Structure 1
């Protein structure tokens, strides 16, 4: 039945292409026809975008209200000077609805040479991504996320020099990240998360001079944290991979970075003071690693930290942090969320933590979330905590499973403490 339908549509295509009333370039009509024919017919409902593609009508004929009602956009090619006939219209955008289409992405998509946007996200397409995608020289947005594509990322995608958004997330793509992607100097967003990608990040990534957002989370990426990344990055997420080694001290080279998430990897050593000296960092998540201590900035740098830090949230839970709680963390002016759960921190809770959590001060953001549970903290609570009331600034906190000898059960954040045998 599929083959018969394809033959009939081919006859219609020939009729449209030879008709003086045709508005769409014949090569584009053929590519659209092949794209539709690569989809499982059982998923082509009449109310869906692809279900409305009726090739007895011209795809770019805006007067048709029942065919090609959604999914494509067309534009006219520039007319050459002195030409006697108007050029055909070209398909410049395909944005399909997330209707659950099954099938594959036809290699004929590479013949849509005027295409600027291709979005088939949120469906159930499978198979390999066609290498012909690399022929779409004008493409600015490519989003195939949320499907079931497998195999490797085509090297040919590195030819898409106009590309600004590349979405490959939530598929089953495997292999290494091609070094050719480093040639995408116009790319602003790269989503690779939730695949099966392995190997190291390409060493030439700094050449991606326009990249703002990079999310390669939930893969199998190995090696150390890259020593050099695009300096333009604003958000970087590499959580839930297999990175090892230490965080570099040159994070400040990414001067625009606001969000860093490297949680659930195998990073170790010091949580470097460059995080707190960074001019833009606001949210840092290093939970679920093997960091052993928090590096305190030197005396000369401390005024820069206390006055200039942009840090709003820090999650360093479930590491191997030892030593006392660093007082300077409670002096970060904008810090409102701090989680150090599940470490081996000891000593008493510094007074600065209680002041920032309970007592408000002009120009200082109070701590609204403070999680210190699951450590080896000892001694009595600082007095301001004992004056806590439901109207206080502290909204969510836990000091449970420590060795605090005076944490009243009346305070909701105290909880049960460790038995004395574990605290000795």
Structure 2
């Protein structure tokens, strides 16, 4: 006796279990054996699928045959390969579409729950189905899919009283479904997909109480869909010729788990009653002409995993009720990709429109992006507008987001930085997205990242990355069992690889990583390409687009220094202000070792690519940024204005002099980097802020005289060291409160020493240009443009007055110039004699002695 083949349709709950098959007696029934031999004679069998069928053996032992204890045939189950005799796998035969069992990839979303394993199919039968099959009175399963038959289904088959499974999928059969039938009372599965079956869906299906699955996908059936299909568990009617409106009561007494109506000509609204199909797992309505909005009642489907309503004519807002679909993993609201591109010619429809006309109003509700199981959100060119959703929940599972070609505005939300599994993010061509990119976005780990054609600004960050998923390929989800979610992920992954602008760029069809920052307002230098180190050495091709921006400076030749592990690299920085290639290496010269390594990339990453949020000060020489090099290790990075440099060789020579300076009241210069595209100094970080801030806060709190006295002496000692102990002597030329830094214990440190000479044209003792800040510059220096150490002492005196009086040098409440100088003399006397506490507090701070 034969056994049930693994190729029988195996999707729970449609598995058919026949306990009667376990007790078989090999008695003879010559009538069933004769029927089977007649069937064998009616077909051609070039692959020998029926080689075991001989006159000399018992028919219940033949391959594909299962009998009961009386040798009556219960099951005839032989799966073909679907291949033509000449080996063709995919053919267009008139109006029909035939394909081999191994070519399911042509139909990425077809047959959720009914796809079979084709691994054991080695050939096909050719010819016609013998009418004598209708004489197998005990037949429960007739499963002959993927053969190359011709002609109609014999009428006797429709009269089999005990038939439960009729599976003739993709066997090139023709004819119409009968208007009435005499048998089939126990029919549970009808799988006639991809045959030339035509006509309308007959009403007798409604009388089948056990009916669970109906597959007429890829056939020529036409007319409308009856409401009773809602009582089945799986309905597959894709790529047929059905049309009209769906019945409003299709969801009444609903048992549906999978409903696929894609690729037809349905019009009118999506029935709200579908919200009653509480067991529905996949709802595929794409490529039709549905109108109006998505029914809010769909939000009642808490078992729904996949919803695809793309390529229709829908409108209205995206209902917030969809946020109640707690099992939703894939939401496709619009789609520029057509899963049926390969079949359009086969269908031969001259009126077929290859486009998406879903034009929604408003944006995407946050409750949808917060769905914890969501893996795909796909809604390109859908006229969505407003801000991008701000709340993306924990974003533990989201892998693909496509919101391109809409009208979103505002900033890219911080919530997207939580999406560490993101492999695909397309926000391109919204035009109105503004602000700066966030360095915490997982861009280095993304296989596809596109923010082109927007209004983004700032620097292109050096993005942080931690653990990366594997690069996205057409095989990325092959390990997952075929289900609605994995089918969409696999299809979109394959289209992403094929659809990039360098689709043929990858060697031997290898994976591609594509990052596009083009057509924005990004500025600054191109510092690095945001590809994760984990991608190197994996035969990956990388494309980096940053054209049509405001990028400047020389093109860094070291951009490619970490690309040895890539198969190919494509870089586009055209239509910028980038000049010739610079070959300067990204080195940081270290004067004082700290606890952790200090490299160019680490510095730039720690400042967020010199993001404004990390800026702690601005001055004439550049901006200063706080940078956490590693947990608990802070430094201050002064980024110098490139235009101030007078020559790199001179800069290197003089900065090394400053790097050797060591004094308890000088800010320590830890290291520096200087190149044509970027120059910065690395100092130790002082948490107490600067003296300017200290003076401002003095108006709201008292300060101990000893603290003021210590600050004054600390700065005096620092200046004395620069003037008298350094060889060559160093003139500061810009002593002011903002260049005096404090630690938590109010120790004072002088910063920016030597930068006036380093970044200007002056010599040590005289200069032809005035450096310094108005209000702190000595009058004789301002008039003669000649500087000496006395000019620094003058500026120091102004700082002392500010420290003691809480007034700024240019404050209108200051006394006249003559009285100002009188106060200056008094301050010097007070400090020299250490009698300042009583005099200065009363005089400048308005304090009264207790006496």
**Structure 2: distance between partners of 1:407 and 1:396:** 20
- Range with greater deviation from structure 2 (114-123 or 207-216): 207-216
**What CA deviation, in whole Å up to 9, does each residue of 1:362-391 have, x standing for no partner?**
xxxx43432222433421333235x6563x
* CA gap 1:256/1:195 in 2 versus in 1, 3 angstroms: same
**What CA deviation, in whole Å up to 9, does each residue of 1:232-271 have, x standing for no partner?**
3222333334444432221145443222233333433333
Partner of 2:27: 23
Partner of 2:385: 322
- Range with greater deviation from structure 2 (207-216 or 271-280): 207-216
Partner of 2:454: 402
**What CA deviation, in whole Å up to 9, does each residue of 1:329-351 have, x standing for no partner?**
x2374551343344322213432
Give secondary structure in 1 for the equivalent of 2:416.
helix
* 1:215 aligned residue (260, 265, 277): 260
Q: Gapped runs of 5+ residues in structure 1?
A: 1-20, 63-67, 77-87, 359-365
**1:200 Cα deviation from its structure 2 partner:** 3.3
**What CA deviation, in whole Å up to 9, does each residue of 1:376-418 have, x standing for no partner?**
3421333235x6563x5x4533223434345739885334227
* 1:174 aligned residue (198, 206, 226): 198
**Structure 2: distance between partners of 1:332 and 1:154:** 54
Give secondary structure in 2 for the equivalent of 1:284.
strand
**What CA deviation, in whole Å up to 9, does each residue of 1:13-71 have, x standing for no partner?**
xxxxxxxx9934344234324433442x3xx12x53234433454412x4xxxxx3x12
Report if aligned partners of 2:372, 2:393 keep a CA contact under 8 Å in 1.
no
* 2:416 aligned residue (348, 354, 370): 354
Report if aligned partners of 2:371, 2:393 keep a CA contact under 8 Å in 1.
no
* CA gap 1:318/1:177 in 2 versus in 1, 3 angstroms: farther
**What CA deviation, in whole Å up to 9, does each residue of 1:99-122 have, x standing for no partner?**
232223334333323222222112
**1:323 Cα deviation from its structure 2 partner:** 3.4
**1:168 Cα deviation from its structure 2 partner:** 2.5
Report if aligned partners of 2:373, 2:398 keep a CA contact under 8 Å in 1.
no
Partner of 1:311: 374
RMSD (Å) for aligned C-alpha atoms: 3.6
**What CA deviation, in whole Å up to 9, does each residue of 1:261-306 have, x standing for no partner?**
33333433333223222233222223334141366559xxx5xx67
Give secondary structure in 1 for the equivalent of 2:360.
strand
Number of matched residues? Answer: 362
Residue 382 (1) aligns with residue 437 (2): yes
* 1:124 aligned residue (125, 148, 153): 148
Q: Name the structure, 1 or 2, with higher relative contact order (CA <8 Å, separation 6+).
A: 1
Give secondary structure in 2 for the equivalent of 1:327.
coil
* CA gap 1:191/1:379 in 2 versus in 1, 3 angstroms: same
**Structure 2: distance between partners of 1:182 and 1:397:** 50
**Structure 2: distance between partners of 1:349 and 1:196:** 49
Report if aligned partners of 2:434, 2:454 keep a CA contact under 8 Å in 1.
no
Give secondary structure in 2 for the equivalent of 1:293.
coil
Partner of 2:325: 278
Partner of 1:417: 519
Report if aligned partners of 1:175, 1:196 keep a CA contact under 8 Å in 2.
yes
Partner of 1:371: 426
Residue 249 (1) aligns with residue 351 (2): no
Report if aligned partners of 1:276, 1:311 keep a CA contact under 8 Å in 2.
no
* CA gap 1:324/1:102 in 2 versus in 1, 3 angstroms: farther
**1:355 Cα deviation from its structure 2 partner:** 2.0
* 2:283 aligned residue (228, 233, 236): 236
**1:202 Cα deviation from its structure 2 partner:** 1.8
**TM-score, scaled to structure 2:** 0.38
Report if aligned partners of 1:152, 1:173 keep a CA contact under 8 Å in 2.
yes
1:70-81 equivalences in 2 (<5 Å)? 70-76=63-69
Report if aligned partners of 2:439, 2:462 keep a CA contact under 8 Å in 1.
no
* CA gap 1:192/1:225 in 2 versus in 1, 3 angstroms: farther
Residue 106 (1) aligns with residue 153 (2): no
**Structure 2: distance between partners of 1:202 and 1:162:** 20
**1:161 Cα deviation from its structure 2 partner:** 5.0
Report if aligned partners of 1:408, 1:414 keep a CA contact under 8 Å in 2.
no
Q: Which structure has the bigger radius of gyration?
A: 2
* CA gap 1:219/1:193 in 2 versus in 1, 3 angstroms: farther
Residue 36 (1) aligns with residue 40 (2): yes
* 2:360 aligned residue (288, 292, 306): 292
Partner of 1:337: 399
Give secondary structure in 2 for the equivalent of 1:148.
coil
Partner of 1:97: 79
* CA gap 1:269/1:389 in 2 versus in 1, 3 angstroms: closer
Report if aligned partners of 1:351, 1:382 keep a CA contact under 8 Å in 2.
no
**Structure 2: distance between partners of 1:297 and 1:388:** 23
